[in-house]
Amino acid sequence: MILPGDGIGPEIVEQAMAVLEVASGKFNLGLSFEQGLIGGSSIDVHGEPLTDETLKAAGECDAVLLGAVGGPQWDTLEREIRPEKGLLKIRSGLGLYANLRPAILYPQLADASSLKPEVVSGLDILIVRELTGGIYFGEPRGIQTLENGERQGFNTYVYSESEIERIARSAFEAAQKRSGKLCSVDKANVLEVTVLWREVLDRLAPEYPDVELSHMYVDNAAMQLVRAPKQFDVMVTGNMFGDILSDAAAMLTGSIGMLPSASLNESGFGLYEPCHGSAPDIAGRGIANPLATILSAAMMLRYSLNMSEAAEAIEAAVSKVLEQGLRTADIYTEGSQKVTTAEMGAAVVAAL
């Protein structure tokens, strides 16, 4: 199912679909697409950011490709029907607890990173973010009025052992397939929930003797990510820390417009989306970078559809257009050729 969403969502998804259609023809994949509404575009039609029918239909597809949700016109709605709630509902409703966010620097973009080329060259990190628990979903939550009339906002940061264990196993397994280095990020010096997080990781470690597990506090991890990011291979962390650290890691690769993601459930079903949002500041101008979404589509072919040959071809096509010097505004550097969203998509199609 294709869920374009809001803001730049439809613009970037259009390019990813064009790439998928060409890949389908070239590799005889027989892909077919169903479209649905999520976020503000669903609120405008149905009064809610994700209907139960769309959720059900999405779960019945082989995979989901999503653009982004949100925008200022929906920001004043009550929290329960805001666009972001649609995203949380599909993640939680389909049990997509394992969010994989690979931050890879294409060598052609070393100059586009905000860090020095030598700090980021060869960067290849995988952030494994827990996606259906933690402070995003913990109860109780809300805003209440105290006896003195003052209002108080509160959320609950909670993880059960089983929730920690399953995301930890995803991360250990990912590390086994890579360099065997896993860094778990927590705040165990302050928060009990992450004391338990650390305990569970340590308890599982002997089952993965080929993985070297380390722990780091989140504040230090944020600093280390911009100081010496190549010390990391796989990082595993909770929902909110993972949200923040992956945006920081994105910038190492040149732009948030380069970071794809996969969100998987227990049976391997997946939703694929760029890590960035709906970018209201540039929506409608045709300048958004579609590569994170195109690379998410490649992840979808690899993880959910068992079509790794086509996935690799798309990734190679992306690499080729970067080699040709084509850049959307967010990754533009002097001497390269500035292109629109549609031109970038067309170039990937042509390279494919």
- Binding site for substrate, residues? 91, 101, 129, 219
Binding part of the chain for ligand NAD, among 19-27, 175-183, 225-233, 269-277 by CB under 6 A, reads: 269-277
233 tagged catalytic? no
The smaller minimum CB distance to ligand IPM, of residues 108 and 296, is found at 296
Sketch the per residue contact string, 6 through 45, with ligand NAD: x for CB under 6 A, - otherwise: --x---x---------------------------------
DSSP 50: S
Among 233, 243, 315, 330, binds Mn ion (CB under 5 A): 243
**Taking CB under 6 A as the rule, does residue 186 contact ligand IPM?**
no
Among 264, 275, 292, 298, binds ligand IPM (CB under 6 A): 275
Start-to-end Cα distance in the chain: 23
Q: Nearest approach, Cβ of 84 to ligand IPM (angstroms)?
A: 4
Strand partners, 272: 65, 262
Q: Which does 147 bind (CB under 5 to 8 A by kind): ligand IPM, ligand NAD, Mn ion, none?
A: none
ω into residue 140 within 30 of 0, thus cis?
yes
Q: Which residues between 282 and 341 bind ligand IPM (CB under 6 A)?
A: none
219 tagged catalytic? yes
Spatial distance between the Cα atoms of 76 and 78, rounded to a whole number of angstroms: 6
Q: Which residues contact 21 (CB under 8 A, 6 or more apart)?
A: 31
Q: Which residues between 60 and 79 bind ligand NAD (CB under 6 A)?
A: 68-71
**Taking CB under 6 A as the rule, does residue 233 contact ligand NAD?**
no
Encoded tokens for 151? 């209002």
**Taking CB under 6 A as the rule, does residue 3 contact ligand NAD?**
no
Binding residues: 71-84, 91, 101, 129, 219, 243, 247, 277-289
CB atoms within 10 A of CB 1: 20
Q: In 3D, which of 106, 94, 168, 130 has the Cα closest to residue 320?
A: 106
247 tagged catalytic? yes
**Taking CB under 6 A as the rule, does residue 256 contact ligand NAD?**
yes
Spatial distance between the Cα atoms of 86 and 103, rounded to a whole number of angstroms: 25
Instruction: Name the CA dihedral angle for 53, 59, 60, 62, rounded to a multiple of 10 degrees.
Output: 140
- Choosing from 157, 247, 320, 338, which is the catalytic residue? 247
Among 2, 87, 120, 295, binds ligand IPM (CB under 6 A): 87
Spatial distance between the Cα atoms of 194 and 188, rounded to a whole number of angstroms: 5
Binding part of the chain for ligand IPM, among 84-92, 149-157, 249-257, 334-342 by CB under 6 A, reads: 84-92
Q: How far is CA 187 from CA 134, 157, 194, 222, in A?
A: 13, 12, 6, 12
Instruction: Name the CA dihedral angle for 262, 8, 36, 18, rounded to a multiple of 10 degrees.
Output: -80
Q: Which residues contact 243 (CB under 8 A, 6 or more apart)?
A: 129
Three-point CA angle 184, 185, 189, nearest 5°? 115
Query: Which residues are at the interface with ligand NAD (CB under 6 A)?
Result: 8, 12, 68-71, 84, 87, 256-257, 273, 276-282, 288-289, 292, 330
Query: Which residues are at the interface with Mn ion (CB under 5 A)?
Result: 243
> What amino acid positions are annotated as catalytic residues?
136, 187, 219, 243, 247
